[in-house]
Amino acid sequence: MQTTAQTQLIGQHSLIDRVQSLIRRVAVTDATVLILGESGTGKELAARSVHSASRRADRPFIPVNCGAIPADLLESDMFGHEKGAFTGAVGARAGMFQLANGGTIFLDEIAEMSPVLQVKLLRVLQDREVRPVGSDRAFKVDVRVVAATNKDLGLQVERGLFREDLFYRLEVIPITLPPLRERRSDIPLLVKYFLDRHNQKRGDFHVSITEEAMVHLWEYDWPGNVRELENLLERLVILSEDGLVRVENLPPSIRSFISEKKIPRPVLTEDGLDLTNAVEEFENHLIEEALRRTKGNKQAAARLLGIKRTTLVAKLRRRRTGVPATGGARAELT
């Protein structure tokens, strides 16, 4: 069991401020909440935050992963079942809704819920009572529902994959968590927070990060959002030998993302531009990047660039013999 689960969303960006203030306002009500956002943006954390700021805080918070439980088991998992309701149901069993009574149920990956269960959930939300599988009796339950998905639920509705009436029932209060790349100014704060947390686990050993590495983390796009950042920092703390995280310690995926991002895009200004130079500079950057990725292997670099090895060699030779390779775009040929 998790002890004193942290439920605070770290961040000072106005987008997170807005989420935090929504959470505070909704927490004091019993309204159904729908949490949206890309993977790893903190949807479950936000759900726990709603629960722990509510009058239900000392009652259970029950997460149900609608995507991970097979459709035919999910109904009895959610609503319970009677003895003999189906083969293998040797005794009666309470469902998650009963377990969450007085507290909060967190229906994660709600978009994955089967159409049959969507109807049943709609009924529960309307009547605030559940009927266990195989029972003809319904029980009143006092449960706040928080649902989450990383899918565009509105689009699922349009495509006929999700019930419109259930969507509106769930979407009473929508809370959208921003992707990390839209609140980059929170990255140093999060880095410090996760470093501190993981440093604590290493006792006296303290790991910090160089300015340059921090800039890389700032500029990276974080497709896996806060979870990706958290996992990376945990790994860096565990693997650090001298207590300092440098650019070299960052994964190749981040380093190559940054070097690709640095490839300047030629801009056509009022004064025009030198097309030959601009094209050559662009080409040089790509050649450099291909050689770096392939550790100087010209055959592999040429394949990456979709050209023949001989063509690449000719281009490199031309650059070394002083034909203008502008703007400091020199390839590392080691």
Ligand X SMILES: Nc1ncnc2c1ncn2[C@@H]1O[C@H](COP(=O)(O)OP(=O)(O)OP(=O)(O)O)[C@@H](O)[C@H]1O
If the CB atoms of residues 82 and 230 are measured against ligand X, the closer one turns out to be 230
Q: Alpha-carbon distance 177 to 15, whole Å?
A: 8
Task: Based on the shown chain and the rule CB under 6 A, indicate whether residue 228 belongs to the binding site for ligand X.
Answer: no
If the CB atoms of residues 44 and 186 are measured against Mg ion, the closer one turns out to be 44
Q: Is 68 exposed, middle or buried (0-12, 13-18, 19+ CB in 10 A)?
A: exposed
Minimum CB distance to ligand X, residue 154 (Å):
17
Among 20, 27, 43, 316, binds ligand X (CB under 6 A): 43
Among 27, 36, 42, 133, binds ligand X (CB under 6 A): 42
Other beta carbons within 10 angstroms of residue 333's beta carbon come to 11
The stretch near ligand X (CB under 6 A) out of 114-122, 213-221, 222-230, 291-299 is 222-230
The stretch near ligand X (CB under 6 A) out of 8-16, 22-30, 270-278, 297-305 is 8-16
User: Which of 67, 53, 40 is CA-nearest to residue 147?
Assistant: 67
If the CB atoms of residues 11 and 132 are measured against ligand X, the closer one turns out to be 11
Minimum CB distance to ligand X, residue 34 (Å):
13
Q: What are phi and psi of 98, to 5 degrees?
A: -65, -40
Task: Based on the shown chain and the rule CB under 6 A, indicate whether residue 33 belongs to the binding site for ligand X.
Answer: no
Q: Output 234-238 pairs: Cβ under 8 A, ≥24 positions apart.
A: 234/194, 234/198, 236/207, 236/209, 237/195, 237/198, 237/199, 237/201, 237/202, 237/207, 238/198, 238/202
The stretch near ligand X (CB under 6 A) out of 35-43, 80-88, 291-299, 323-331 is 35-43
- Site track 117-156 with ligand X (rule: CB under 6 A), x = hit: ---------------------------------x------
Among 44, 112, 288, 289, binds ligand X (CB under 6 A): 44
Task: Based on the shown chain and the rule CB under 6 A, indicate whether residue 230 belongs to the binding site for ligand X.
Answer: yes
Radius of gyration of the chain (CA): 27
- The span from the first CA to the last CA of the chain, in angstroms, equals 52
Minimum CB distance to Mg ion, residue 16 (Å):
17
Q: Which residues contact 72 (CB under 8 A, 6 or more apart)?
A: none
Task: Based on the shown chain and the rule CB under 6 A, indicate whether residue 226 belongs to the binding site for ligand X.
Answer: yes
The stretch near ligand X (CB under 6 A) out of 7-15, 112-120, 247-255, 260-268 is 7-15
Give the pairing type, strands 139-140 and 173-176. unpaired
If the CB atoms of residues 130 and 147 are measured against ligand X, the closer one turns out to be 147
If the CB atoms of residues 43 and 56 are measured against ligand X, the closer one turns out to be 43
Minimum CB distance to Mg ion, residue 37 (Å):
9
Q: Is 107 exposed, middle or buried (0-12, 13-18, 19+ CB in 10 A)?
A: buried
Task: Based on the shown chain and the rule CB under 6 A, indicate whether residue 178 belongs to the binding site for ligand X.
Answer: no
Q: Which residues contact 35 (CB under 8 A, 6 or more apart)?
A: 43, 46, 47, 146, 147, 148, 149, 174, 175, 176, 177
Question: 148 in helix, strand or coil?
Answer: strand
Minimum CB distance to ligand X, residue 123 (Å):
27
* Chain contacts with Mg ion (rule: CB under 5 A): 44
Minimum CB distance to ligand X, residue 209 (Å):
17
Q: Alpha-carbon distance 79 to 99, whole Å?
A: 10
8 Å CB contact between 57 and 20: no
Residues that bind ligand X (CB under 6 A): 9-11, 37, 39-45, 150, 226-227, 230
